[in-house]
Structure 1
């Protein structure tokens, strides 16, 4: 995974937009396909995967912010 340096709000906004695009491209498609097929099990699994990807992204940035505080 590529390392991104976030020094200000603008950097964070750009990172968040790009990360959201990536998550939707990866996880949103599976959710849409499951919904189209009306497969309740697949919808649940895809929804959980989407939620997990969002949580992982938020933890990723939080960990990066905490690492920055440790360096100070």
Structure 2
């Protein structure tokens, strides 16, 4: 597992992000005392092309909001 590969975060609420790819890399970096790991951040509107439709996007956001 390459902890130098950036993780991917998605905006689930204005200014609030969740890791959607790279959780294991984050855990490994933490265990190894690595204090900085790079990430890519996707804003809500950037996620839309990856959802089948608006309903899928809303389901994604509602799912993560239920975890808060």
Q: Which TM-score bucket, shorter chain as reference?
A: 0.3 to 0.5
Query: TM-score, with normalisation over the residues of structure 1?
Result: 0.31
Larger RCO, structures 1/2 (Cα 8 Å, 6+ apart): 2
Select the structure that is richer in helix. Answer: 1
Query: TM-score, with normalisation over the residues of structure 2?
Result: 0.32
Select the structure that is richer in strand. Answer: 2
